[in-house]
Amino acid sequence: MFYYYDPTFLLVIIGLLISGAASAYVNSTFNKFDKIRSAKNVTGTAAAQFILSDSGITDVVVQPISGRMTDNYNAQNKTLNLSESTANSPSVAAIGVAAHECGHAVQDQVDYLPMRIRHAIVPIANIGSTISIPLILIGVLISWNQTLINIGIFAFSLALLFQLVTLPVEFDASRRAVKILAAGDLLTPEEVPMVKKVLFAAALTYVAAALSTFLQLLRLVILFGGNRRND
Ligand SMILES: [Zn+2]
């Protein structure tokens, strides 16, 4: 494999390590606080339904989905999807995750600008990440066509842009969740800091993903960015 004599492959490995560490951290944090039953004993589903109605959101359906940590809010069909580990669990972690997804529903309700921007760039980011590597490879094969290679690198950077725009959306959803939970209807004051830890660990995975994509972009720039044809 050509990786053996490509030192920039180290950047990819660093990215994988960062992502792996973030994912291990969110898993262990979630597991820790998933074992703590909330004093008020409400499930993720009940918490989500309470928060939505308390926020005056009546057009969003809370439903269970399969998988673990697959929780998401879908703005297109107005569904708040809670994974099995969240939906039926009365743990502090489950309530935190459910409240975070409600945070996204509230963002949608108030037309939170970063969420709109994120939504708008999804298609171009998808196209960008699909065509970038093929474009770079074709550019290299066609006697190092730098224009084609640069377009490929630019396309890849759109994927990074998407991940960067995701960050404020995720942090804001958690901020809204903590604020709602701190009101005291669903959690005791002692439980709020636990939720903060779970949501902080979850946010780190998005930072790690963006960092990892940045390192991959850096690698592409180092390998193909300049006109390096010297044969
Ligand atoms: Zn989120």
CA distance 145 to 168: 37
In the set 84, 101, 190, 191, the catalytic residue is: 101
Q: For residue 71, how far is its CA from the centre of ligand 1 (angstroms)? A: 8
Model pLDDT, residue 99: 98
Model pLDDT, residue 1: 43
Pairing relationship of beta strands 72-74 and 61-65 according to DSSP bridges:
unpaired
Q: For residue 5, how far is its CA from the centre of ligand 1 (angstroms)? A: 39
**Helix, strand, or coil (residue 195):** helix
**Which chain residues have CB less than 5 Å from ligand 1, an ion?**
170, 173
Domain boundaries along the sequence of the chain: 9-224
pTM of the model: 0.91
Q: Is the pLDDT of residue 231 over 50?
A: no
Closest CA to 149 of 212, 216, 227, 219: 227
Q: For residue 104, how far is its CA from the centre of ligand 1 (angstroms)? A: 7
Instruction: Check if the beta carbon of residue 44 is closer than 8 Å to that of residue 86.
Output: yes
Task: Kindly report, residue by residue over 204-224, the tens digit of the pLDDT.
Answer: 999 999 999 999 999 999 999
Q: Is 101 a catalytic residue?
A: yes
Name 72's Cβ contacts closer than 8 Å, sequence gap at least 6: 81, 101, 104
pLDDT band at 6 (very low <50, low <70, confident <90, very high): confident
Q: Is the pLDDT of residue 3 over 60?
A: no
Closest CA to 30 of 16, 44, 10: 44
Task: Kindly report, residue by residue over 123-133, the tens digit of the pLDDT.
Answer: 999 999 999 99
Name 76's Cβ contacts closer than 8 Å, sequence gap at least 6: none
The neighbouring-strand residues paired with 63 are: 81
Q: Nearest 5°: phi and psi at 191?
A: -85, -20
Q: For residue 170, how far is its CA from the centre of ligand 1 (angstroms)? A: 5
CA distance 103 to 179: 10
CA distance 225 to 219: 9
CA distance 98 to 173: 11
Burial class, 91, CB count within 10 angstroms (exposed 0-12 / middle 13-18 / buried 19+):
buried
Model pLDDT, residue 85: 87
Provide the mean pLDDT of the chain: 94
Question: What integer is the mean pLDDT of 126-152?
Answer: 94
Task: Kindly report, residue by residue over 86-121, the tens digit of the pLDDT.
Answer: 999 999 999 999 999 999 999 999 999 999 999 999
The two structure tokens encoding residue 6:
């490509």
